[in-house]
Chains A and B, each alone.
Chain A
Amino acid sequence: MLSALKALFLSLVGSLRDLTPIILVIAFFQLIVLQQPIPDLWGLISGIILVLFGLTFFIYGLEMGLFPIGESMAHAFAKKGSVVWLLIFAFALGFGTTIAEPALIAVAAESAKIAAEANIIADSKEAIASYATGLRVTVAFSVGFAILLGVLRILKGWPMHYLIIGGYIGVVLMTTVAPKSIIGIAYDSGGVTTSTITVPLVTALGVGLASSIKGRNPMVDGFGLIALASLTPIIFVMGYGMII
């Protein structure tokens, strides 16, 4: 009991260290640059305590739940030896975790408004809603495709940088032909797709796969799935902007 409390205390101190920079930055700009008092000090302090406990619990659960399940599923798929099911799983994981992502829903809604104001689509509720849904499905599909491709890369042992350089060439080529209004949104959509729960899960899956296949190095072959998942949406969203 005592040792558990001590462990909890130590990880709370660790979380406090992670948060100190933000607290310092906000305090410095509020008090010294803008020269204004902190509006709701008690709300601020209790909020920071919540963040501390939240971060501590998250990291604790990560090593207990998310990492082990990602790795044990990777081992089980490698043992089963069915490449088709593994690829279907990879696609489903990418698509399923992205389609419900709140950050993506917000960005899609924002982009639909922009498209309506730029007269790319009709300025009606239905047109805006269908554009936003189309964008979400496009991004989710591209993340599913990215995880599928990344898993295939781990199986085949392709060097990561060929895929990334190929992706960069794709982005540059699409930039020259895509409508100007979509470019900013497309570039940003790569960053918003990977959420706090998806990242540990997908990382554990990649590392688990690479370590259970002979001849693969978990460091060289296990990482890279997240990178692909943030690159393909850029290309696909510009494609979506050209079709619409």
Chain B
Amino acid sequence: MEFMLSTIIPSIIQWLTDFSGVLFATIKDVLPIVVILFGFQFFILRKPIPNLRKVIIGFAYVLIGLTLFLQGLEQALFPLGRLMAEQLTHPDFIYAGVEHIAGTIHWFDYFWVYIFAIAIGFSTTIAEPSLIAVAIKANQVSGGSIGVWGLRLAVAVGVAVGIGLGTYRIVTGYPLHWFIITGYVVVVIQTFFAPRLIVPLAYDSGGVTTSTVTVPLVAALGLGLAETVPGRNPLMDGFGLIAFASLFPIMSVMAYAQISEYINRRTKK
């Protein structure tokens, strides 16, 4: 019994210190937002906030929720994900069992990296809290015609394709701006054919995807890849995955709307 207590209590104390550390960091991030909101509410609008008690409790839930979320990710998934990104991009793994001619690379040697990039892009986007928030709002505003899951899956597919293509770019070393500019052209063309109601939401879904869950894992993957692929410079080639992850969901959300509109029209006929 004594042995149990002597091992459990320090680990509980350690956990509580970690928790309060993350909590203070989260409060520090939220403080400017709270100051701006309440400052304008009291000094400019000069009106009491409706349901003030409920709003404050809601903020407390958001703070505690975000803290637990970040601490859990830091404890469980991030270390493993980062380690995995390092191991998958390591030459020992890529060339295991294959005779490797120094100085030459073939883009296909990295196929596990692409699969990992696609899988991690999809799965982290499904768990992204800010995307859940936007999907809930879009569902309310559209009166239910835009499904929460439909939007989230469309965005996740876009991020998966974007990050997969982004890792391919790092391996091959093509300039980033070719891809981005081509992407822009596709987005502009799609804008003129997509249903009018979806366009602003599609543009927004590019920005919301890259947040708490996706950025740390994807950044580790990009930098790890740029460090280990011969001829790549991590400083020049390691960036760009986030940009891909914010561009491709715009296309996939518009495509999702176009496809569902097409199916609706056909079933009506």
Q: A interface vs B, CB < 8 Å?
A: 18-19, 21-22, 24-26, 28-30, 33-34, 38-39, 43-69, 72-73, 76-77, 80, 82, 85, 89, 92-93, 96-97, 99-103, 114, 117-118, 160-161, 164-165, 168, 171-172, 175, 180-181, 183-185, 187-188, 190-201, 203-204, 207, 211, 217-227, 229-230
A200 adjacent to B61 (CB under 8 Å): no
A230 adjacent to B206 (CB under 8 Å): yes
Contacting residue for A24 out of B29, B65, B76, B123, CB 8 A = B123
Q: B interface vs A, CB < 8 Å?
A: 25, 28-33, 35-37, 40-41, 44-45, 47, 49-51, 54-77, 80-81, 84, 87-88, 93, 112, 116, 119-120, 122-124, 126-127, 129-130, 132-134, 136-138, 141-142, 176-177, 180-181, 184, 187-188, 191, 196-197, 199-201, 203-204, 206-213, 215, 235-243, 245-246
- Please, which residues of chain B bring their CB within 8 A of the CB of A30? 80, 84
B53 CB, min distance to chain A CBs, angstroms: 10
Interface of A, secondary structure class, is helix
Q: Which residue of A lies closest to B208 (CB)?
A: A199
Given A47-B77, A51-B69, A192-B210: A69 in contact with B127 (beta carbons within 8 A): no
Contacting residue for A224 out of B28, B33, B176, B203, CB 8 A = B203
Given A34-B87, A66-B62, A184-B240: A51 in contact with B50 (beta carbons within 8 A): no
Interface of B, secondary structure class, is helix
B132 adjacent to A18 (CB under 8 Å): yes
A218–B138 Cα distance when bound, in Å, is: 9
A36–B171 Cα distance when bound, in Å, is: 25
A227 adjacent to B32 (CB under 8 Å): no
Closest 3 CB pairs of A and B: A65-B58, A47-B76, A61-B61
Which of B63, B77, B237: most chain A Cβ within 10 A? B77
A25 CB, min distance to chain B CBs, angstroms: 4
A201 adjacent to B188 (CB under 8 Å): no
Given A161-B191, A194-B207: A175 in contact with B181 (beta carbons within 8 A): yes
Given A43-B76, A187-B180, A223-B201: A96 in contact with B210 (beta carbons within 8 A): no
Given A68-B54, A196-B129, A207-B141: A54 in contact with B33 (beta carbons within 8 A): no
- Please, which residues of chain A bring their CB within 8 A of the CB of B58? 60-66, 68
B59 adjacent to A61 (CB under 8 Å): yes
Given A53-B68, A190-B207: A93 in contact with B77 (beta carbons within 8 A): no
B35 CB, min distance to chain A CBs, angstroms: 7
Given A21-B123, A58-B61: A200 in contact with B207 (beta carbons within 8 A): no
A233–B241 Cα distance when bound, in Å, is: 16
B197 adjacent to A50 (CB under 8 Å): no
- Please, which residues of chain A bring their CB within 8 A of the CB of B81? 26
- Please, which residues of chain B bring their CB within 8 A of the CB of A192? 210, 215, 242
Query: How many A-B contacts at CB < 8 Å in the complex?
Result: 334
- Please, which residues of chain A bring their CB within 8 A of the CB of B201? 219, 223
Given A47-B76, A65-B58: A54 in contact with B70 (beta carbons within 8 A): yes
- Please, which residues of chain B bring their CB within 8 A of the CB of A224? 200, 203-204
Given A18-B127, A58-B66: A223 in contact with B203 (beta carbons within 8 A): yes
- Please, which residues of chain B bring their CB within 8 A of the CB of A47? 71-77
- Please, which residues of chain B bring their CB within 8 A of the CB of A60? 58, 61, 65
B71 adjacent to A72 (CB under 8 Å): no
A85–B29 Cα distance when bound, in Å, is: 24
A60–B256 Cα distance when bound, in Å, is: 28
B177 adjacent to A19 (CB under 8 Å): no
A229 adjacent to B84 (CB under 8 Å): no
A117–B233 Cα distance when bound, in Å, is: 12
A69 adjacent to B30 (CB under 8 Å): no
A58–B73 Cα distance when bound, in Å, is: 14
A96–B29 Cα distance when bound, in Å, is: 10
A217–B198 Cα distance when bound, in Å, is: 12
Q: Which residue of B lies closest to A38 (CB)?
A: B80
Contacting residue for A101 out of B29, B177, B243, CB 8 A = B29
- Please, which residues of chain B bring their CB within 8 A of the CB of A39? 80
- Please, which residues of chain A bring their CB within 8 A of the CB of B59? 61, 65-66
- Please, which residues of chain A bring their CB within 8 A of the CB of B176? 183-184, 187
A187 adjacent to B33 (CB under 8 Å): no
B207 adjacent to A227 (CB under 8 Å): yes
Q: Would you list 11 pairs from A and B whose C-beta atoms are within 8 A, ordered by A residue?
A: A22-B77, A29-B88, A54-B65, A55-B69, A60-B61, A65-B60, A73-B41, A161-B188, A175-B177, A207-B137, A220-B196
A230–B4 Cα distance when bound, in Å, is: 51
A219 adjacent to B235 (CB under 8 Å): no
Given A22-B123, A43-B76, A96-B36: A57 in contact with B61 (beta carbons within 8 A): yes
